[in-house]
Amino acid sequence: QVQLQESGPGLVKPSETLSLTCNVSGGSTRSYYWSWVRQPPGKGLEWIGYIYYSGSTNYNPSLKSRVTISVDTSRNQFSLTLSSVTAADTAVYYCARHAAFLQTGPFDYWGQGTLVTVSS
């Protein structure tokens, strides 16, 4: 059974950089696409971007200037960095796997999510 687990600081100061890691167990990061999705408290879901195990990426244009997603297949994990954060970046951040080895695959496995609060 594939499991995803997000980790990282729960509190980030405004203007600083948010960094999260998603550890994948029960399966390999190879041959799949992996995404980050976020959800502000009480609001809907926003796709942040994806990475393929080869390192190719695609980011949401609304965040593209501030986002970097990377993958470390040797550690079976992938990571998110979001720079110059503001209170609007406060959200639960989820990592997720795309099904069927496709960038267009639906998200079939999700992490439990981690709340990141931006506050001084």
Partner 1 sequence: DIQMTQSPSSLSASVGDRVTISCRASQSISDYLNWYRQKPGKAPNLLIHAASSLQSGVPSRFSGSGSGTDFTLTISSLQPEDFATYYCQQNYSPPYTFGGGTKVEIK
Residue of 13, 14, 28, 108 that binds partner 1 (CB under 8 A): 108
Residue carrying structure tokens 């994990």: 77
How big is the site for partner 1, counted in residues (CB under 8 A)?
23
Alpha helix (H) residue ranges in 9-58: none
Please state the closest distance from residue 81 (CB atom) to partner 1, in A.
18
How far apart are the C-alpha atoms of 49 and 69, rounded to whole Å? 7
- Candidates 7-15, 23-31, 40-48, 74-82 — which segment interacts with partner 1 by CB under 8 A? 40-48
Contact 76, 21 (CB under 8 A): no
How far apart are the C-alpha atoms of 51 and 54, rounded to whole Å? 8
47-66: contacts with partner 1 (CB under 8 A): 47, 50, 58, 60-62
Please state the closest distance from residue 50 (CB atom) to partner 1, in A.
8
Nearest alpha-carbon partner for 82 in 3, 8, 25:
8
Binding residues for partner 1, per CB under 8 A? 35, 44-47, 50, 58, 60-62, 94, 96, 99, 103-108, 110-113
